[in-house]
Amino acid sequence: MAGRKPFIPTADHRKMVKAMAGYGIPEDDICKIVINPTTNKPVDGKTLRKHFRDELDTGEIIANSKVAESLYRHATQGTGQGAVTAAIFWLKTRARWKETDRLEVTGKDGGPIQKHSITTAEFREIAKNIADEV
């Protein structure tokens, strides 16, 4: 009794899997699209990972690189505000880019902020003094 013929991925399969991985499509959904020509059924996750490891690993990297390249071109050539907004959105959500400006609050000499408890009466006195100065 002969076993089932092995799945042999085509160039079209590889291109499709790399693109879908790049777009962030989950592996379970990619499996539904990759049809094994010998069975006419979708491949399972194990088969997908076995035959398309490189495409799954590099698809996202290539897609993010293309978007970053596009954003760089727009930044250096000053064209297409809508495309720039879309590129920024992509890079923040898919490439994990983020804004780097942030406000850090520290205590004296970069140490922790010291907490002091005061009574309600002390608070009212401080507030009264501030109000008197204004």
* Alpha carbons 24 and 43: distance in angstroms, whole number: 19
Lowest mean pLDDT across 23-27, 40-44, 75-79, 129-133: 75-79
Cα-Cα-Cα-Cα dihedral of 75, 80, 86, 89, to 10°? 30
Number of structural domains (the chain) is 1
Residue 85 lies in a domain: yes
Amino acid at 32: K
* Structural domain containing residue 70: 11-93
pLDDT tens, residue by residue, 47-102: 999 999 999 999 999 999 998 888 887 777 766 667 778 788 888 888 878 877 77
Inter-residue contact 47 to 7 (CB < 8 Å): yes
* pLDDT at residue 111 in the model: 81
Inter-residue contact 88 to 72 (CB < 8 Å): no
Residue 98 lies in a domain: no
Give the chain's count of helices (H) and strands (E): 6, 2
